[in-house]
Structure 1
Amino acid sequence: MSPRFGIMTAPMQVDYADLVRVWHEADTLPAIEHAWLFDHLLPIVGDPDGPIFEGWTLLSALAAQTSRLRLGLMVTSNRFRPPAVLAKIATTVDVVSAGRLDFGIGVGSRPSHPLARREYEAHGLPFHETAHAVQALAEACAVIRRLWTDATPFDFTGDTVQLKGAFGNPKPVQRPHPPIVIGGRAAATLRVAAEHAGVWNIPGGDLDDAVSRSALLDRYCTELGRDPAEITRSIHLPVSYADPALTRKAIGEAVDAGFEHVVLGLPSPFPEGVAQWVVDELIKP
C-alpha cells in the first residue's frame, strides 16, 4: 500500500491567519491527504507564555474552511474533557466537516514533561497517575464508541466513568463511526490501541523503538483475537526546512519499516507556500 501523507501544524506561537493559510493551501494539494493539530492548553515549545489555541475549537473552524482534507488532533488528551462531552464535540466536527474526522485520542501529557504538566494546574484539571489515566482512556474509548452508535440511551458504570441516560444525537456522519486514532508508545496504551484503534500513531525519532512497539501491538492484537493488519501504523516525523534530504531519509526508513500513514510536523513560522514545498521536496521524491 502506498503511504498516505499529512501535515501537522501545532497551534502555538502562531497566528490564526497563518494556520488558515497553510490548511487552505494543503486542501488544494491531493498529495497531502490529512492535516492535524495537537491538544495542549499552554505552549510546550518556545515562549511558555506565548499564544496557543484550543485544539477542538480550532479544528472545527478549519473543518468549515476546507473541503477535502481528513483532519484531527494528534492526539486529544483524554485528561482534558469528560468522554461524553468529547464524543459530542467530535460528532460536531464530523458533521461540520461532512465526515472527514479522524478521531485522535491518547492518555494525555506524560508526567515527566514539566511544560506539559503545568497546563493541568493552570486550568484546574486533575492529573491522575498513569494507571488511572490508562484505565480512563480505555473506558473513554468504549463510552465514545457507544455514544456514536447506540440507538437508545444507556448507563455506564466504570472505574473512572459513570454515566446515566447517556445518548448521542446526532450521530457522526461516518458510519459506524469516525476512525479511532490512538497515539502513544507505552505498553499499557498499546493494549488499549489493540482493542479500540483503527490507526496507531507514535512519534518518530527512534525508529527501532517504533518498530519494536509496533511488534508489541501485533502481539496484543493476537492475544485479543484481532488481526494486527486491521490497525494502520502511523508515525509523526519532524520536518527540516533547511535539510529536506534528512526528512526524506526519515520518511523512506519509516515507510520501509511498515509505517504507511506519515504525519509531517511543520515547525513555525510557516514559510509561504509551505504545503506545496512539502509536496515537491518531501512527498514526490
Structure 2
Amino acid sequence: MTQPLPPRFGIMTAPSQVDYHDILRVWREADTIPVIEHAWLFDHLMPIGGDPNGVAYEGWTLLSALAAHTRRLRLGVLVTSNRFRPPAMLAKTAATVDVVSGGRLDFGIGVGSRPGHPVARREYEAHGLPFHDTAQAVGSLAEACTVIRRLWTEVEPFDFHGTHIQLTGAFGNPKPVQRPHPPLLIGGRAASTLRVVAEHADLWNIPGGDIGDAVERSALLDRYCAEIGRDPAAITRSIVLPVSYRDPDATRGAIGEAIDAGFRHIVLGLAAPYPDHVARWVTDELITASAKEHHPA
C-alpha cells in the first residue's frame, strides 16, 4: 500500500495593515528553517480587513522583492485575481519572478473576488477595473490558464482567439526557470472553478475554517477529474489555516484534521502584528508539535 506523502508546511503573510520590513523579517527567518517549505502573499489592491484606508501592497511587486531576499523558500501569491491583470501580462510577470527567485515560484491563480463581497469589490471600482459576472470570470480563468502555460513553454509566437482572450503574435521571453513551467495552483471552492482545477491545476487550495466543506469540495474535485480521465491524485490538496498565537492547541487541532482529510499542502496564515521570531514559534509550537501528535515515538 502506498504511503501518503508527508505534509509540506508554509506560511502566509497578508501584505495589508503591516510594514514591508515586518514581512521581510518573517520571510528571512522562515527561509532559514527547512521545515517551512513555502511562503505566500495575497492579491488585493485595498484592505479587506481593518482600516479600509490602510496599507495594502501590490502582491507581485512585493513577491519579487521577497524573492530577491530569500534563497530557499518556494513562494507565490495565494491567489492572484485573474480579474486584475491581462493573462499575457501576468505570464510575463510570473516568469520574471521565477527568474529572480532562481526557479522557486508556485503560480497561484483564481477567479477573483466574489461579486457579493462589497469590501473586496470596491477595489475594482477604485482602480477602474471591470467586474464581470461569475460565468465570464470562470471562463476567462480557464482560457488564462491555457494562454499562460503556452507563453511559458512555446518557442514560436502564436495567436489565440478565445471567447474571452484575444492575442496576436503572443510570445513569452524569458521563459520561467522551471521546466516545463512553474507548478500551477488554483484556489477556489465553487463547482465551476473546480472543473477548471481538474483540467489545469497541479495544486488546489481552499481557505480553511470548515473542514467538512473542504472534504466535500475535495470529493467533488475527485469526481470532476474522473469525468475527464485525470488521476485525482495528480492534484495536491492545499488548505489555508489561520494561526492563533494565543491558542496553539486549536491550530494544531485544525492541522491534524486537515492532514487526516488528505490535505498535504498546509499554509499557516499569520496575523499581523507578527511576534518576534514568529517563524521559529510556528515551527516549534505548530509544525513540530503536530508531527509528534500524529506520529508519536
TM-aligned CA deviation for residue 151 of structure 1: 1.0
Deviation at 1:47, TM superposition (A): 0.2
Residue 32 (1) aligns with residue 69 (2):
no
TM-score by length of 1: 1.00
Are 1:2 and 2:6 matched, yes or no?
yes
Equivalent in the alignment of 1:214: 218
2:209 paired residue number = 205
Q: Secondary structure at the match of 1:284?
A: helix
Uncovered stretches (5+) of structure 1, i.e. residues with no partner: none
- The one-letter code matched in structure 2 to 1:163 is L
Equivalent in the alignment of 1:151:
155
Distance (whole Å) between structure 1 residues aligned to residue 40 and residue 173 of structure 2: 26
Tell me which of 230, 237, 242 is aligned to 1:238. 242
2:166 counterpart of 1:131: no
Alpha-carbon offset, residue 111 of structure 1: 1.3
**1:163 counterpart residue number:** 167
Match of 1:270 among 271, 274, 284: 274
Question: After superposition, what is the alpha-carbon deviation per residue over 1:54-105, rounded to whole angstroms, capped at 9, x for unaligned?
Answer: 0000000000000000000000000000000000000000000000000000
Q: Say which of 49, 55, 65 aligns to 2:53.
A: 49
2:171 alignment partner AA:
F
- Runs of 5+ consecutive residues of structure 2 not aligned to the other structure: 290-297
For 2:272 and 2:115, locate their aligned partners in 1 and report how far apart those are by CA, in whole Å: 25
Q: How many residues align?
A: 285
The residue aligned with 2:293 is none
- Aligned ranges for residues 66-105 of structure 1 at < 5 Å? 66-105=70-109
Name the structure 2 match of 1:194.
198
Q: 2:264, 2:170 → 1: CA distance?
A: 36
1:172 aligns with 2:172: no
TM-aligned CA deviation for residue 235 of structure 1: 0.3
In structure 1, the residue corresponding to 2:271 is in which secondary structure?
Answer: coil
Query: Structure 1 CA distance, aligned partners of 2:155 and 2:232?
Result: 29
**1:269 aligned partner, one-letter code:** P
CA distance in 2, matches of 1:110, 1:283: 32
Matching residue's letter, 1:107: V
Question: Which aligned runs of 4 or more in structure 1 are off by greater than 2 angstroms?
Answer: none
State the SS of the aligned residue for 1:241. coil
Partners of 2:142 and 2:151 in 1: CA distance: 15
Q: Deviations over 1:130-173 (max 9, x none)?
A: 00000000000000000000110000001110000000111100
Distance 1:283 1:110 in 2: 32
Indicate yes or no: 2:172 matched with 1:182: no
Identity within the alignment, %: 76
Amino acid at match of 2:129: L
Task: Give TM-score scaled by structure 2 length.
Answer: 0.96
Whole-Å Cα distance in 1 between the matches of residues 163 and 272 of structure 2?
A: 40
Q: Tell me the SS of whatever aligns to 2:40.
A: strand
- Give the counterpart letter for 1:250 in structure 2: A
2:117 aligns with 113
Corresponding residue SS for 2:34: coil
Letter in structure 1 aligned against 2:81: S
**Partner secondary structure for residue 220 of structure 2:** helix
2:295 — aligned with what?
A: none
Deviations 1:191-221 (A, max 9, x none): 0000000000000111111001000101111
Write out per-residue CA displacement over residues 17-67 of structure 1, whole angstroms, 9 at most, x where no aligned residue. Answer: 101000000000001000000000000010000001000000000000000
Q: Secondary structure at the match of 1:156?
A: strand
